[in-house]
């Protein structure tokens, strides 16, 4: 099934001065990510003391990142689309009422978009475990009028468990560990059930839960017994290095949800057999997003309506 909208319909980043500079650097370094591009951006950081760049994702939405964060600075490039499958899904559900739980929110990209007018101005709760990354998440919430809530917690299967977080310079190197090691930052865990209860989410509210929690996806879902009784769409990561597809196996077999894969162009595929993931997860260093929902629920019906 194919989407009725193209990626360019969703949003177009409006460049600031620093974004324009990043694009020029990209062009001058032969248009490839690598040593030349990264070296040039490190040099740019020495010229601009703030080391921050901001892009406008929509008329009411801005997104700030560190210039030398090589995971996020590519978002400034014209051709680059960050996790387009999530863009397609959230945009497709923009007219449907739901609460967005951004678990493993990083610096807030999806919460900024989901809470925007173009994506339906959804109520969003963004949860990030790394205290250092959380600072940038808080900054992006502030830049967008504090229209979504932010929490510095780790999503787990029990409340109050203490995790240790690496304080690496870039978020991609920050890892969750289950015990305290020396001077590493610590963070408390919270279950999805507690999160929903503490934020007074209506019992009738639909939920979209984006789950990208450093390999703790199954534990996170085990802490969502009551939450998963609701009408829910899971947007979860199944990593390319896991050839057993453990998370999808749990979602399909233990939770009894239908699983869908959305391609970069918005084409939607229902996963009938676990082995189908072998052809999708072709890169061991990449996390792949899949969607789980109740077979006869509102989200499944909406998927059929939109992509029929």
Does residue 154 have a pLDDT over 80?
yes
* 211 SS3 class: strand
pLDDT value of position 34: 60
Give bridge partners of residue 34 from the DSSP assignment: none
Taking only the tens place, the pLDDT of each residue in 252-291 is 999 999 999 988 777 888 999 999 999 999 999 899 999 9
The more confident residue out of 208 and 303 is 208
The more confident residue out of 49 and 94 is 94
Looking at the chain, list the stretches that DSSP marks H as alpha helix, in order from N- to C-terminal side.
Answer: 7-10, 17-28, 35-47, 84-92, 109-114, 131-143, 192-198, 217-222, 246-249, 277-280, 298-307
Q: What is the mean pLDDT of residues 76-93?
A: 87
Percent of the chain with pLDDT over 70: 86
- Residue 150: which pLDDT band, with cuts at 50, 70 and 90? very high
pLDDT value of position 27: 80
- Residue 8: which pLDDT band, with cuts at 50, 70 and 90? very low
Rounded to whole angstroms, how far apart are CA atoms 21 and 144?
Answer: 24
The more confident residue out of 126 and 170 is 126
pLDDT value of position 137: 98
Q: What's the predicted TM-score (pTM) here?
A: 0.88
Q: Domain boundaries in the chain?
A: 82-307
Question: Does residue 66 contact residue 74 with C-beta atoms inside 8 Å?
Answer: no
Q: What is the mean pLDDT of residues 232-249?
A: 96
The beta-carbon contacts of 106-109 under 8 Å, at least 24 apart in sequence, are 106/133, 106/137, 106/171, 106/212, 107/64, 107/65, 107/72, 107/133, 107/136, 107/137, 107/139, 107/140, 107/171, 108/63, 108/136, 108/137, 108/140, 108/141, 108/148, 108/150, 109/63, 109/75, 109/82, 109/140
Q: Domain 82-307 class?
A: alpha beta
* 299 SS3 class: helix
End-to-end CA distance of the chain: 6
What is the gyration radius of the CA atoms in the chain, in angstroms? 19
pLDDT value of position 17: 77
Question: Does residue 166 contact residue 177 with C-beta atoms inside 8 Å?
Answer: yes
- Residue 11: which pLDDT band, with cuts at 50, 70 and 90? low
- Residue 32: which pLDDT band, with cuts at 50, 70 and 90? low
The more confident residue out of 187 and 15 is 187
């Amino acid at each position: 099934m194919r989407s009725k909208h193209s990626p360019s319909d969703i949003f177009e980043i409006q460049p600031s001065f620093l974004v324009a500079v990043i694009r020029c650097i990209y062009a001058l370094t032969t248009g490839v990510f690598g040593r030349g591009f990264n070296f040039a951006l490190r040099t740019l950081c020495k010229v601009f003391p703030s080391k921050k760049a901001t892009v406008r994702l929509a008329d009411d939405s801005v997104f700030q990142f560190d210039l030398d964060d090589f995971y996020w600075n590519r978002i400034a490039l014209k051709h680059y689309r960050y996790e387009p499958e999530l863009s397609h899904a959230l945009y497709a559900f923009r007219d449907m009422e739901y609460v967005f739980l951004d678990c493993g929110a990083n610096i807030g990209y999806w919460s900024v978009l989901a809470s925007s007018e173009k994506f339906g101005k959804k109520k969003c709760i963004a949860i990030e475990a790394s205290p250092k990354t959380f600072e940038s998440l808080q900054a992006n919430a502030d830049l967008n009028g504090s229209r979504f809530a932010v929490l510095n917690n780790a999503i787990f299967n029990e409340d109050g468990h203490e995790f240790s977080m690496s304080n690496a310079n870039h978020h991609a190197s920050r890892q969750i560990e289950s015990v305290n090691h020396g001077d590493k930052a610590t963070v408390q865990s919270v279950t999805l059930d507690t999160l929903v209860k503490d934020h007074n989410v209506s019992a009738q509210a639909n939920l979209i839960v984006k789950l990208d929690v450093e390999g703790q996806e199954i534990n996170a879902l085990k802490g969502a017994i009551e939450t998963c009784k609701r009408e829910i769409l899971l947007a979860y990561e199944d990593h390319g290095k896991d050839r057993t597809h453990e998370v999808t196996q749990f979602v399909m077999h233990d939770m009894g949800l239908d699983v869908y894969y959305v391609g970069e162009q918005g084409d939607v595929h229902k996963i009938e057999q676990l082995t189908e993931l072998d052809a999708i997860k072709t890169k061991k260093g990449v996390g792949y997003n899949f969607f789980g929902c109740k077979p006869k629920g509102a989200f499944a019906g909406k998927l059929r309506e939109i992509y029929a």
